């Protein structure tokens, strides 16, 4: 009985913590648009500053998660960022990377680490440091990566994963984020509008969420 009670308490704690994060729904306005974040070029920028003429794709990312950078037996999604950025640029939908791993600033996700990663991986566009994971909290972002695509009116049009195969780009059968960019740029709804985000948890500070 005691074990059952402890289990229920533990489950309750997890449920409450997860419940504190919002869930953005398709059609919701982009949150935290005015929050200034430090870009890898040293300049401060907000999502409103960086929004594109046909939309904006926001990816919560990092330098340390195997789902981003890969691991033995898996490529990770990071290698597809440059192509996704190029597709976005072609459609007037910039890709903005955000690093919210506040609890790992001293362990691979510092600003200097972000700058090095940006250069090494040939990213284009912005890679922003989300201080105190304030923007991730406003979005309800849960994983690295976690993708949020907004239309030209800054309304959520797609959320979830980049595609359906983190391990191998050659074996991808559903290019969700790429297809969503093309649809949204034409003023059409993404289909599907939501997929399951898969990745490491965003490393928040212990006193928050």
> How confident is the model at residue 1, as a pLDDT?
42
For residue 183, pLDDT beyond 50: yes
How does DSSP classify residue 189? Answer: -
Phi, psi values for residue 69, rounded to 5°: -90, -10
Tell me the pLDDT tens digit for each residue of 5-57.
333 333 333 333 545 899 999 999 999 999 999 999 999 999 999 999 999 99
Distance CA(2)–CA(8), nearest Å, equals: 10
Residue 58 β-bridge partners? 96, 148
Task: State the CB neighbour count (10 A cutoff) for residue 135.
Answer: 23
Contact 81, 122 (CB under 8 A): no
State the average pLDDT over residues 79-101.
97
> How confident is the model at residue 13, as a pLDDT?
31
Contact 31, 141 (CB under 8 A): no
Both ends of the chain: CA-CA distance in Å? 29
User: What is the DSSP track for 66-99?
Assistant: HHHH-BTTB--SGGGHHHHHHHHHHHT--EEEEE
What are the residues whose beta carbons fall under 8 Å from the beta carbon of 3, sequence distance 6 or more? none
Residue 61 β-bridge partners? 99
Q: Which two tokens stand for residue 194?
A: 């939501």
Tell me the pLDDT tens digit for each residue of 71-85.
999 999 999 999 999
Q: List the domain boundaries for the chain.
A: 25-201
Q: Specify the fold of 25-201.
A: Glutaredoxin (3.40.30)
Percentage of the chain beyond pLDDT 90 is 87
CA distances to 20, 69, 114, 144 from 40, rounded to whole Å, are 30, 18, 7, 18
> How confident is the model at residue 126, as a pLDDT?
97
Distance CA(134)–CA(20), nearest Å, equals: 13
């Amino acid at each position: 009985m005691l074990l059952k009670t402890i289990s229920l308490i533990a489950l309750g704690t997890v449920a409450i913590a997860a419940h504190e994060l919002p869930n953005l729904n398709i059609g919701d306005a982009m949150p935290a648009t005015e929050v200034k974040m430090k870009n890898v070029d040293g300049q401060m920028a907000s999502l409103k500053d960086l929004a594109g003429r046909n939309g904006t794709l926001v990816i919560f990312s990092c330098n340390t998660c195997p789902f981003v950078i890969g691991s033995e037996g898996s490529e990770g999604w990071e290698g597809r960022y440059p192509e996704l950025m190029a597709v976005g640029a072609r459609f007037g939908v910039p890709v903005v990377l955000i690093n919210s791993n506040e609890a790992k600033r001293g362990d691979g996700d510092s600003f200097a680490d972000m700058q090095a990663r940006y250069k090494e991986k040939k990213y284009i566009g912005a890679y922003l440091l989300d201080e105190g994971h304030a923007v991730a909290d406003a979005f309800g972002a849960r994983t690295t990566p976690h993708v949020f695509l907004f239309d030209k009116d800054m309304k959520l049009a797609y959320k979830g994963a980049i595609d359906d195969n983190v391990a191998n780009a050659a074996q991808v059968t559903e290019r969700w984020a790429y297809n969503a960019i093309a649809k949204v740029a034409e003023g059409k709804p993404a289909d599907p509008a939501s997929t399951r985000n898969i990745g490491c948890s965003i490393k928040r500070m212990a006193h928050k969420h």
